[in-house]
Amino acid sequence: TMPSIFSYQSAEVDWCESNFERSTVIAEYYNTVSAGASEGQAGARRQPAPGTRELLWLSLLLAGIFSMYFHMTLSYVGQLLDELSILWTLAVAYSFWYPRVYFPRFIKSRKHFFWLSGITTVISTLMSFIKPAFNAYVLNCIAFHLLYLTWRELKKCNDKRVHRMAAVMVGWWVLAISSWISDRWLCGLWQAINFPYFHSFWHVLIAMSLLYCCPLVIYFDVNYEMPSFKPKLGYWPSDSWPVVVPYVALEKPHKQC
């Protein structure tokens, strides 16, 4: 008989970490714990649009919870929830923040773009059931489009602080994707030396990359959508601290006579 889609280890994907090594309830202990990093990132978002904040916060929170559930059970349902929550979080971010200057020519308004994003996401959701093991690779490829958009925006910007934040974001992403690929393709090596934890590193490192990515995207969005304000990137509690939380401050320019 076919195993239940809710059963432990019914997923098509099993990461490098040994299963049930540290707990009889949690399949991948360190992957489950590290997945909570994305939940922590959900509380660090600051945005100029009030309605966007709650929706994106909820999307990130659900992505973190579903990721923890997947690594705890390695179930088929957990795998799909993990991947689809990421897909829908990206859809929310694209819908609200994708610059109008990059809209396809047949899209005349943000409302039309919402519909395009929604239809595309629904189709992608249905296609994800065809071969779930392939979903993670497709989702990671979206990062290349985000990097391309960042490069396009940096060409228009002379603010050294913006370029610095983008460089830090890319640095964290390179470390994150390297960890993900290492866990996926070099598992035999890491198990041989008893260090199969690179997917848990991925969780933490991609959360760090997002910590810098979101303020950067908001900065560009304010330039397009709120031209009466001047956005400024900052770091809390101070630029000089080794561990900081980046944010966007809005400065309304003085009227010129």
The answer to the question of whether 194 is labelled as a binding residue is no
DSSP code at position 130: T
Answer positive or negative: Cα dihedral of 6, 25, 131, 142: positive
Helix (H/G/I), strand (E/B), else coil: 68: helix
Q: Which residue has the tokens 């303020």?
A: 215
Backbone angles phi, psi at 7, to 5 degrees: -70, 150
**221 in a labelled binding site:** no
Whether 231 contacts 219, CB under 8 Å: yes
How far apart are alpha carbons 38 and 68 in whole angstroms? 10
Task: Tell whether residue 71 is among the known ligand binding residues.
Answer: yes
Is residue 180 annotated as involved in ligand binding?
A: no
Closest residue by Cα to residue 209 from 165, 161, 241, 159? 165
The beta strand positions in the chain, using DSSP E, are 230-236, 245-251
Establish whether 163 is an annotated binding residue: no
Measured CA to CA, the distance from residue 223 to residue 226 in angstroms comes to: 6
| Residue 21 marked in a binding site | no
The reply, when asked if residue 14 is annotated as ligand binding, is yes
Binding-site residues for Zn(2+), in ranges, read 71, 199, 203
Annotated binding site for Ca(2+): 14-15, 17, 19, 28
Binding site residues, as ranges?
A: 14-15, 17, 19, 28, 71, 199, 203
